[in-house]
Amino acid sequence: GEDVEQSLFLSVREGDSSVINCTYTDSSSTYLYWYKQEPGAGLQLLTYIFSNMDMKQDQRLTVLLNKKDKHLSLRIADTQTGDSAIYFCAEILGSNQFYFGTGTSLTVIP
Binding site for other proteins (CB under 8 A): 2, 4, 6, 8, 30-31, 33, 35, 40-45, 48, 50, 88, 90, 92, 95-96, 98, 100-103
Degrees, nearest 5: CA angle 73-79-85: 70
Which residue's CB is nearer to other proteins, number 7 or number 17? 7
Query: Which residues are CB-contacts of 4 (< 8 A; sequence separation ≥ 6)?
Result: 22, 23, 24, 25, 89, 90, 91, 99, 100, 101, 102
Degrees, nearest 5: CA angle 92-78-17: 65
Give the whole-angstrom CA distance, residue 4 versus residue 88: 10
Query: Least distance to other proteins from the beta carbon of 42, Å?
Result: 4
Query: Least distance to other proteins from the beta carbon of 25, Å?
Result: 14
Which residue's CB is nearer to other proteins, number 15 or number 94? 94
Give the whole-angstrom CA distance, residue 109 versus residue 16: 10
Query: Least distance to other proteins from the beta carbon of 16, Å?
Result: 26
Which residue's CB is nearer to other proteins, number 6 or number 79? 6
Query: Least distance to other proteins from the beta carbon of 45, Å?
Result: 5
